[in-house]
Amino acid sequence: MSAGSDKRLNLLVVDDSAMMRAMIKRAAGLSNVPLGTVYEASNGEEALRLLETISIDALFTDINMPVMTGIELLAALDRQDRWKDLLRVIISTDGSNARREQAGQLSACQYVEKPFKPEAIRDVLATLL
């Protein structure tokens, strides 16, 4: 997306906690980045199903979720070439180096530790501008 474009960013927020999804949406809304639709899913499997029907610019995912974890979701995206340019962001309380290394082996992956300030989401979205 080029600067000055009127394109709005579509996001997908994946977290099993509805309150955390609301918090991430709020932080994205405070970022001054033009937003389109913010989609939600409560686990990786639901996100994969949703991705068959929508177009997004960035995906934010928790790690620990029932049914399919965030790491499994990102690994599934890595297996499909169509998602190679999608910005993926892990939002997790696990800030350990080992987990970051695991995430680093997946494509286009950024890492935000919980709790985060809204600026952390702004900084991530700004990389798309």
Spatial contact of 90 and 59, defined as CB atoms under 8 Å apart: no
Task: Tell me the closest approach of the beta carbon of residue 82 to another protein, in angstroms.
Answer: 29
Among 20, 48, 50, 106, binds another protein (CB under 8 A): 20
Among 45, 48, 78, 102, binds another protein (CB under 8 A): 102
Rounded distance, CA 24 to CA 72, Å? 21
Spatial contact of 69 and 42, defined as CB atoms under 8 Å apart: no
Among 34, 36, 66, 104, binds another protein (CB under 8 A): 66
Spatial contact of 74 and 103, defined as CB atoms under 8 Å apart: yes
Query: Treating both helix axes as pointing N-terminal to C-terminal, what angle do 70-78 and 44-51 enclose, rounded to 10 degrees?
Result: 30
Task: Tell me the closest approach of the beta carbon of residue 119 to another protein, in angstroms.
Answer: 11
Rounded distance, CA 34 to CA 8, Å? 5
**Strand (E) or helix (H) holding 13:** strand 9-14
5 binds another protein (CB under 8 A): no
Task: Tell me the closest approach of the beta carbon of residue 85 to another protein, in angstroms.
Answer: 28
* Segment lying near another protein (by CB under 8 A), choices 33-41, 51-59, 78-86, 92-100: 92-100
Residues that bind another protein (CB under 8 A): 16-20, 22-23, 26, 64, 66, 92-99, 102, 113-117
